[in-house]
Amino acid sequence: MDSIAPKAMPFVLDGSDKVIKITGSESKKGTVNQSSSNKPNVIQNQNRLDDRLVETNDRFKQVPLAGETDYFGNMNNYMIDYVKGYMSHFGGRLNVVNDRGLSTFETMERVLKSHSIPKELKYLAVIESALNKNARSPVGAVGYWQFMAPTARLMGLTVSGRRDERTDLVKSTHAAAKYLSYLYDQLDDWLLVIAAYNSGPRPVINAMKKTGEDDFWSIKKYLPKETQNHVLAFVATATIMERLNHFLLPGLPSNFDWTSLNVTSASIAKAKKPANPLLSKFTEAEVKQMAIVRIKKPLDLEVVSAMLNIDRRQLGRWNYDYFDYLSEYKTGNLYNFRIPKDKLDVFLEKLGALERASQNMQM
C-alpha cells in the first residue's frame, strides 16, 4: 500500500517527539532562524491571510496556520519550529502527494465549499490517508477520510459487502464536511475539531471539562499522545502545502528565514469568541429566543437549516450535544431539540417532511 506514514500509524505523518524534535518549549518562545535572506514574500503571506479572513463566513472561523500570531500567541514560535522539523522529515513525501493530488484537491475543495467548510480542511485527508482511496487502517477505518463504518453510515454513506462509499471521493468528502460541521458545533475551534476527528469527541470534551478551557494548548496534555501529534501534523501539513509548497521540490535553503511566516490580522476587527456551551450556560437572551421540542427520530441539521431557513451556525451551537445523541441513538431515544421560537410552528408543521428528508442518515 502506498503510504506516507512513519511507524505504527499507517497513513499519518504524525510528527511524534521521537521523529521531530522541537527547539524551545511549549511554555517559552521557540528559536527560529533569523537570517534575512531567502524569505518568502511577506506581503504575499499577509495578503493570503487577509484573503482567508475575508473568505471566512459567520459560521466558521479560519483554520489557523503556523505564523498567524493572532491565533497562536506565545505558542507561535513553538509551532513554527514544529513545522520546520516536519518540513525537514516529510517535505519529500508531501511533494509526492501534492503532485498526484491536484485534481483530488480541486474536487475536495469544491465539495467543502458547498458546506462552507474552509478549504484548508482538505489537508486533513493528507494526514489521514495520503489521498489514497483504498487506505485501510488496522482498526478498520477506510478511504480518503478514514471513516469507521458506524460514523460513515451516520453521515449518510453506504457501507456494505457490495458497496463502500468511503472510497468515493465526492460522497465521502460530503460526509467528512458534515462530520466536521457537527464537531465544530460542539467544539467551536478547528484544532479541537481535528483532535476529535482523531480520538472521537469524548476525550476532547472530557479534557475541556477537566480544565475548564476551550483551546487546544490548554487541554493538550490531557489528550492521547497520538491525538496531540495528529493536531500538530495537521497544522504543519496545511502550513507547508498552503504557504511553502513552492519549496517542496527543491527543498528549503539552509538560511531560510522562518520568522517571515509571521503575519497578523490586527487590521481586521475580530468578534469576541462566544462562550462554549459545553463550559457555560446559554445567555439569557438566547434562552428567551429558544423553543425546545422533544424529537424521537434523528434530523439532519443541514436539512433543518435549509427547509426552515434557520441559521446553521445558531442551530449547531444551540444543539451542541446533538452528535452525542446521533452516535448513541436507539429507536425511541428522545432529544431536546432547540430551535428559535419564531420557527416553532413551521417546525411542527414540517416535522414529517424533515424526518423523511433526513432518512439518508443510517442509524
In this structure, the answer to whether residues 200 and 94 fall within a common structural domain is yes
Whether residue 88 lies inside any domain: the answer is yes
Number of domains in the chain: 2
Q: CA–CA separation, 112 vs 288, rounded Å? A: 34
Whether residue 167 lies inside any domain: the answer is yes
pTM of the entire predicted model: 0.79
Q: CA–CA separation, 301 vs 299, rounded Å? A: 6
Higher pLDDT, 331 or 41: 331
Whether residue 18 lies inside any domain: the answer is no
Taking 60 as the threshold, does the pLDDT of residue 31 lie above it? Answer: no
In this structure, the answer to whether residues 148 and 77 fall within a common structural domain is yes
Supply 107's cell numbers: 474536487
* HSE (side-chain half, CA atoms, 13 Å) at 101: 21
Taking 80 as the threshold, does the pLDDT of residue 303 lie above it? Answer: yes
In this structure, the answer to whether residues 257 and 312 fall within a common structural domain is no
Higher pLDDT, 15 or 175: 175
In this structure, the answer to whether residues 108 and 210 fall within a common structural domain is yes
Lowest mean pLDDT among 30-34, 46-50, 70-74, 295-299: 30-34
CATH code (residue 58)? 1.10.530.10
Average pLDDT over residues 344-352: 96
Provide the residue range defining the domain that includes 95: 42-261
In this structure, the answer to whether residues 256 and 289 fall within a common structural domain is no
The model's pLDDT over 128-161, given as tens digits with 9 standing for 90+, comes to 999 999 999 999 999 999 999 999 999 999 999 8
Q: CA–CA separation, 79 vs 152, rounded Å? A: 32
> What pLDDT does residue 48 have?
52
Confidence of residue 273 (pLDDT cuts 50, 70, 90): low
> What pLDDT does residue 53 have?
47
In this structure, the answer to whether residues 322 and 173 fall within a common structural domain is no
Whether residue 153 lies inside any domain: the answer is yes
Instruction: Using CA atoms of 72, 74, 75, 79 in order, give the dihedral in degrees to the nearest 10.
Output: 80
In this structure, the answer to whether residues 220 and 73 fall within a common structural domain is yes
In this structure, the answer to whether residues 141 and 209 fall within a common structural domain is yes
Whether residue 28 lies inside any domain: the answer is no
In this structure, the answer to whether residues 81 and 185 fall within a common structural domain is yes
- For residue 269, give every residue at least 6 positions away whose Cβ sits within 8 Å of its Cβ, in sequence order, or none: none
**What radius of gyration do the chain's Cα atoms show?**
21
Query: Do residues 114 and 57 lie in contact, with contact meaning Cβ atoms separated by under 8 Å?
Result: no
Whether residue 232 lies inside any domain: the answer is yes
- For residue 357, give every residue at least 6 positions away whose Cβ sits within 8 Å of its Cβ, in sequence order, or none: 300, 303, 307
In this structure, the answer to whether residues 198 and 341 fall within a common structural domain is no
Q: What is the mean pLDDT of the chain?
A: 83
The model's pLDDT over 179-217, given as tens digits with 9 standing for 90+, comes to 999 999 999 999 999 999 999 999 999 999 999 999 999
Whether residue 363 lies inside any domain: the answer is no
In this structure, the answer to whether residues 288 and 251 fall within a common structural domain is no
> What pLDDT does residue 327 have?
84
Alpha helix ranges (H) inside the chain: 42-55, 69-72, 76-100, 102-114, 124-129, 149-154, 169-187, 190-199, 201-211, 216-219, 225-243, 284-289, 301-308, 312-318, 322-327, 344-357
The model's pLDDT over 14-23, given as tens digits with 9 standing for 90+, comes to 444 333 444 3
In this structure, the answer to whether residues 251 and 289 fall within a common structural domain is no
Query: Do residues 121 and 112 lie in contact, with contact meaning Cβ atoms separated by under 8 Å?
Result: yes
Higher pLDDT, 44 or 208: 208
Of all residues in the chain, the percent with pLDDT exceeding 70 is 79
Whether residue 27 lies inside any domain: the answer is no
Taking 90 as the threshold, does the pLDDT of residue 349 lie above it? Answer: yes
SS3 for 29?
Answer: coil
Supply 189's cell numbers: 475551534
